[in-house]
Amino acid sequence: MEGTTRADLFDPASLASMGRIEIVARWVVDGFLTGLHRSPRKGFSVEFAEHRPYQPGDDLRYLDWKIAARADRWVVKQFEEETNLRAVLVLDVSPSMAWRGAPARLTKLAYAERLTAALALLLLRQRDAVGLVCFDERVRSVLPPRARMTQWRRLVGALDRMREGTDARRSDAGDALLQAARVVRRPGLIVLISDLLTDVAPVDRAVRALRAAGHDVAALHIVDPAERELTASGDALFVDPESGLAVPAAVAEVRDAYRATVAAALDEWRATFVRGGGRYETVMTDAPFGAPLRRAFAARQDSGR
């Protein structure tokens, strides 16, 4: 069966153990694209960007016949303005993202890095321009959108550098979203990938501002299963990794209140993005990477891609 061999349907931690981010992302995207019909593309401009391998269904007018005759390779001329979408992936690298609820799972950041790389590769293979913004309490790195496949290596390199860690104690997703909008020259897609352990009001204002400017905004809310269920028992010390606040409590006494609070927080975030004109999806770190990719891909199709 196809579902038993496609990497995008594997357990995330098992898949991540097989190789580096770029290897995992390629496996995931190759599996995800299996069976999908390639979108028809039109509107090649006059600004040449690079060659790429010919794919069945490409317009033969853009084959480079000189290379085909000289090197016996079929390649297509690709142009910078061929893309009709510019996307920026906004990744949270704050301390809370380094947490995981069980040793067998990926940290939220490790999961988010692989998801970011896979989503970037998917967009690039669709000939869209992709950029990256990494943030915690301030913006740590900015990679402006480009449509060339060499952009993916730059993006993966930026993710590797972010793994060195920062001295931040909190995150500011609102400012990062506004920064992302500054590197997109025209209305595009801005995807926030974060555990959203941050204040709602600045994000709400940013989403409204981006939508008013014509941008499509989506949030992939990274959540560890243990954050929703609080399955531990006995006495525990609860520590906020971003503020440093520590509170001792008996788990049994706070479990019901905790679950209700988490459910309310998720509902509040969903309402915030939907009310502001954006989209919101909860992404569990024990779920295969294909699930959020499928939602992101469907969302792009729904928005007119």
My answer on whether 89 and 128 are in the same domain is: yes
- Residue 172's pLDDT is 92
Q: Of 38, 83, 77, 45, give the one whose Cα is nearest residue 61.
A: 77
- Residue 73's pLDDT is 83
Distance CA(251)–CA(208), nearest Å, equals 38
Q: Of 73, 76, 87, 160, give the one whose Cα is nearest residue 119.
A: 87
Half-sphere exposure for 166 (CA within 13 Å, toward CB): 21
Q: Of 93, 71, 58, 68, give the one whose Cα is nearest residue 168.
A: 93
My answer on whether 130 and 259 are in the same domain is: yes
Residue 120: strand, helix, or coil: helix
φ, ψ of residue 153 in degrees (nearest 5): -65, -40
- Residue 301's pLDDT is 56
- Residue 79's pLDDT is 60
Q: How far is CA 71 from CA 52, 61, 159, 239, in A?
A: 14, 19, 35, 61
My answer on whether 111 and 72 are in the same domain is: no
Residues linked to residue 51 through DSSP beta bridges, in sequence order: 77
Could you tell me the residue range of the domain that residue 138 belongs to?
85-302
My answer on whether 69 and 167 are in the same domain is: no
My answer on whether 176 and 63 are in the same domain is: no
Those residues of the chain that have pLDDT short of 50 are 1-4, 35-46, 81-83, 305
Q: What is the pTM of this model?
A: 0.79
CA 212 vs. chain centroid, Å, equals: 22
- Residue 34's pLDDT is 67
My answer on whether 67 and 102 are in the same domain is: no
Give the count of domains, the chain. Answer: 2
State pLDDT tens for residues 243-256. Answer: 778 888 887 788 88
- Residue 135's pLDDT is 94
Q: For the stretch 233-268, what's the b/e string if a residue is b when 16 or more beta carbons lie within 10 angstroms of its beta carbon?
A: eeeeeeeeebeeeeeeeeeeeebeebeeeeeeebee
Domain end point (choices 30, 59, 81):
81
My answer on whether 54 and 101 are in the same domain is: no
Cβ partners under 8 Å of residue 134, min gap 6: 91, 93, 140, 141, 158, 159, 162
Distance CA(51)–CA(63), nearest Å, equals 9
My answer on whether 207 and 60 are in the same domain is: no
